[in-house]
Amino acid sequence: MVNIYLIGFMGSGKSSVGIVLSEHLKMPFIDLDQTIVDRAGKSIPEIFAEGGESSFREYEAEALRSVETEGAVIATGGGIIETMENRSVMKRSGTTVYLHTDFASIIERLKEDPNRPLWNQDHSKRQALYEKRLPIYKEWADVTITTNDRTIHEIVHQVEPLIK
């Protein structure tokens, strides 16, 4: 069974939309960040503090491979598209839904969040990360939904007919 992968920047709503979408589609829900935390036995800030981003990316790639055949709605982490390996796994095992959100809305939603190490840095670095990733999300999306000023339920209703 194929997966539905939600991709997009931190704060685009992958986790919030994913759980509701999975209920509508009667599919299991997996939050890949939670899978990483469960497998590592450490929080995301702890993984970053102990082994840096590269350690986190290793856990993330392993977690993604472990869910490839689940037939689930999967909320990925914002950086899942950083490697070609992860992009290929998603391409061969499911449909990818990109939740596009303007940078200004992301700022509104996340404010100062200590649980996202790559958000917890200065404004110009956050913005550079957003701009670097934007074209990659777009290129790898099978379906794109803009989430600014939309509720979770509005987004779910918009996604549903596009993936059936």
Ligand X SMILES: O=C(O)C1=C[C@@H](O)[C@@H](O)[C@H](O)C1
Q: Please count the other Cβ atoms lying within 10 Å of the Cβ belonging to residue 53.
A: 14
Answer with the entry of ligand X, ligand ATP, Mg ion, none that 72 interacts with (C-beta below 5 to 8 A by kind): none
SS3 category, 94: strand
Q: Which two tokens stand for residue 91?
A: 């391409």
Of 116, 140, 141, 159, which one interacts with ligand ATP (CB under 6 A)? Answer: 116
Q: Find how far residue 120's CA is from the centre of its chain.
A: 17
CB of 90 to ligand ATP, least distance (A): 15
Stretch that binds Mg ion, among 10-18, 44-52, 135-143, 155-163 (CB under 5 A): 10-18
CB of 8 to ligand ATP, least distance (A): 6
Q: Are 21 and 4 in contact (CB under 8 A)?
A: yes
Of 2, 15, 109, 152, which one interacts with Mg ion (CB under 5 A)? Answer: 15
Cβ burial, residue 106 (10 Å; 0-12/13-18/19+)? buried
Q: Which two tokens stand for residue 122?
A: 């200065």
CB of 75 to Mg ion, least distance (A): 5
Residue 145, beta-bridge partner list: 99
Does the annotation place 132 within a ligand binding site? no
Residue 8 zone, left/alpha/beta (φ > 0; ψ -120 to 50; rest):
left
Q: What residues are designated binding site for substrate?
A: 33, 57, 78, 133
Binding-site residue positions for Mg(2+)? 15
Give residues in contact with ligand X (CB under 6 A): 10, 33, 44, 77-79, 116-118
Residues interacting with Mg ion, by CB under 5 A? 14-15
